[in-house]
């Protein structure tokens, strides 16, 4: 096991009716910028609940943060923060709104010339506005980590940053708000959760027995609970379980002391940047290609996943890998995501563009840092 540090101070406030506790959770007298997305919170009652809870606070609203939050949009919020002396950010929405709000928090206190450098050059963050959230979509786990992904349409870039300064002070998770989510978003979130676990698990055997079992715990629970949604989408416990899984899949807990391979996310982000493919769907498309291409390097962990999560007891090692890939795709299909290169418009030209872009950045993906442009072409050609 490698040496590691782990610290995650986020206070999780989980359950029915927790939104009304906002006044006790936010510092008294705070001047709040309330950020949100395209307005779904106005349809499902969350907006009204939050506004009512904040009636004794000074609140400025900033709506319109897009899925895959755009740098230009977020910089408008940074202007408001500065002009109106905002001292607390409250994100009300899904992972995109929260990721965007984390960037607003960091950019508002950024001392350098161009806040885009936080994403493009990993410019150091030395301070940020305090932020918190009411999270409405189980998917990204952003509610319990210090990571964010921001996009720039003009340059088809989608880049990540992380800093302990952007941990939410608290995250309110009320599973009842997910009852009204569109099935496509729910399905995307389930796939995102599964693949967050995979990217911290399907690497190389490292004698990290507990981390392995904990990753499998989330996948086993996901495979058990997700199918129940069809029968009874308003089952509170099913929704609560699924939300808690999403939160834990990316709170830093699974990857302590072990290698990680974020190749599926790295390549998926490029598909979203180029073609606007939903994040979850881009992942569902790419993962089987990564596994097929890396079947030698990742075979041991793929087989362990197949055996322990899907109960595959195939003695032939190559067949066991194939069966695990098929079981994983079937799981994605069972929740409603049947990923397809053709449907998403992933042409040979798009693939070449992505490969060239990655090579031009000089980065290589994966826990062995062996996935370059040529490998990306191989991977995407191995996808359905």
What does the binding site for a second copy look like in residue numbers (CB under 8 A)? 1-18, 170, 207-210, 212-214, 216-218, 220-221, 224-225, 236-238, 240-241, 244-245, 248, 256-257
Which of 178, 151, 193 lies closest to 67, judged by CA?
151
- The number of beta carbons lying within 10 Å of the beta carbon of residue 228 is 15
* Dihedral pair phi/psi, residue 34, rounded to 5°: -95, 115
Q: How far is the CB of 378 from a second copy (least distance, A)?
A: 33
Q: Report how far residue 282's alpha carbon sits from residue 350's, in angstroms, rounded to the nearest whole number.
A: 14
Q: How far is the CB of 107 from a second copy (least distance, A)?
A: 25
Q: How far is the CB of 18 from a second copy (least distance, A)?
A: 7
Q: How far is the CB of 133 from a second copy (least distance, A)?
A: 15
**Cβ closest to a second copy, residue 213 vs residue 230:** 213
Q: What is the dihedral of CA 172, 173, 177, 183, to 10 degrees?
A: 140
Q: How far is the CB of 251 from a second copy (least distance, A)?
A: 10
- The number of beta carbons lying within 10 Å of the beta carbon of residue 82 is 12
CB of 158 closer than 8 Å to CB of 121: no
**Cβ closest to a second copy, residue 209 vs residue 313:** 209
Q: Report how far residue 13's alpha carbon sits from residue 160's, in angstroms, rounded to the nearest whole number.
A: 26
Q: How far is the CB of 225 from a second copy (least distance, A)?
A: 5
**Cβ closest to a second copy, residue 106 vs residue 218:** 218
**Cβ closest to a second copy, residue 168 vs residue 366:** 168
* Dihedral pair phi/psi, residue 321, rounded to 5°: -65, -45
**Cβ closest to a second copy, residue 71 vs residue 243:** 243
Strand order in the sheet with 58-62: 58-62, 31-35, 88-93, 131-135, 170-173
Residue 61 forms beta bridges with which residues?
A: 34
Q: How far is the CB of 196 from a second copy (least distance, A)?
A: 14
**Cβ closest to a second copy, residue 5 vs residue 113:** 5
**Cβ closest to a second copy, residue 216 vs residue 314:** 216
Q: How far is the CB of 265 from a second copy (least distance, A)?
A: 22
Q: How far is the CB of 206 from a second copy (least distance, A)?
A: 8
Which of 163, 104, 90, 87 lies closest to 132, judged by CA?
90
Give the angle 90-96-102 at the CA atoms, nearest 5°.
50
**Cβ closest to a second copy, residue 80 vs residue 256:** 256
Q: Kindly state the helix (H) or strand (E) to which residue 116 belongs, with its residue range.
A: helix 116-120
278-311: b (≥16 Cβ within 10 Å) or e: bbbbbbbbbbbbbbbbbbebbbebbbbbbbbbbe
Q: How far is the CB of 326 from a second copy (least distance, A)?
A: 23
**Cβ closest to a second copy, residue 2 vs residue 111:** 2
Q: Report how far residue 75's alpha carbon sits from residue 71's, in angstroms, rounded to the nearest whole number.
A: 6
Which of 121, 138, 100, 376 lies closest to 249, judged by CA?
138
**Cβ closest to a second copy, residue 10 vs residue 259:** 10
With 0-12 / 13-18 / 19 or more C-beta atoms within 10 angstroms meaning exposed / middle / buried, residue 237 is exposed
């Amino acid at each position: 096991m490698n040496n590691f540090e782990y610290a995650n101070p986020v206070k999780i406030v989980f359950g029915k009716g927790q939104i009304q506790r906002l006044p006790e959770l936010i510092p008294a007298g705070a001047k709040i910028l309330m950020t949100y997305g395209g307005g779904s919170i106005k349809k499902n009652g969350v907006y009204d609940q939050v506004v009512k809870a904040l009636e004794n606070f000074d609140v400025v609203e900033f709506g319109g943060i897009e899925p895959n939050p755009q740098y230009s949009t977020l910089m408008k919020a940074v202007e408001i923060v500065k002009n109106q002396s905002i001292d607390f950010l409250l994100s009300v929405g899904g992972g995109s709104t929260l990721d965007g709000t984390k960037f607003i928090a960091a950019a508002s206190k950024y001392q350098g010339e161009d806040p885009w450098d936080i994403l493009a050059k990993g410019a150091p963050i030395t301070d940020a506005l305090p932020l918190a959230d009411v999270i409405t979509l189980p998917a990204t786990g952003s509610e319990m980590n210090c990571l964010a992904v921001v996009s720039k349409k003009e340059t088809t870039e989608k880049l990540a940053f992380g800093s302990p300064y952007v941990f939410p002070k608290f995250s309110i998770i009320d599973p009842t708000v997910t009852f009204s989510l569109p099935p496509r978003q729910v399905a995307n979130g389930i796939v995102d959760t599964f693949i967050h676990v995979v990217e911290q698990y399907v690497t190389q055997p490292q004698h990290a027995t507990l981390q392995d079992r904990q990753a499998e715990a989330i996948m086993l629970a996901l495979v058990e609970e997700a199918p129940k949604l069809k029968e009874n989408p308003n089952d509170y416990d099913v929704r609560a379980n699924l939300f808690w899984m999403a939160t834990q899949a990316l709170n830093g807990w699974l990857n302590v002391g072990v290698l990680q391979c974020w190749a599926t996310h790295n390549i998926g982000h490029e598909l979203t940047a180029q073609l606007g493919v939903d994040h979850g769907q881009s992942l569902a498309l790419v993962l089987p290609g990564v596994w097929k291409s890396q079947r030698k390097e990742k075979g041991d962990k793929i087989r362990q996943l197949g055996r322990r999560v899907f109960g595959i007891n195939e003695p032939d090692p190559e067949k066991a890998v194939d069966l695990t890939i098929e079981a994983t795709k079937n799981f994605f299909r069972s929740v409603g995501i049947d990923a397809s290169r053709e449907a998403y418009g992933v042409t040979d030209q798009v693939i070449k563009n992505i490969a060239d872009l990655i090579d031009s950045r000089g980065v290589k993906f994966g826990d062995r840092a062996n996935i370059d442009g040529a490998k990306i072409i191989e991977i995407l050609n191995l996808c359905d």
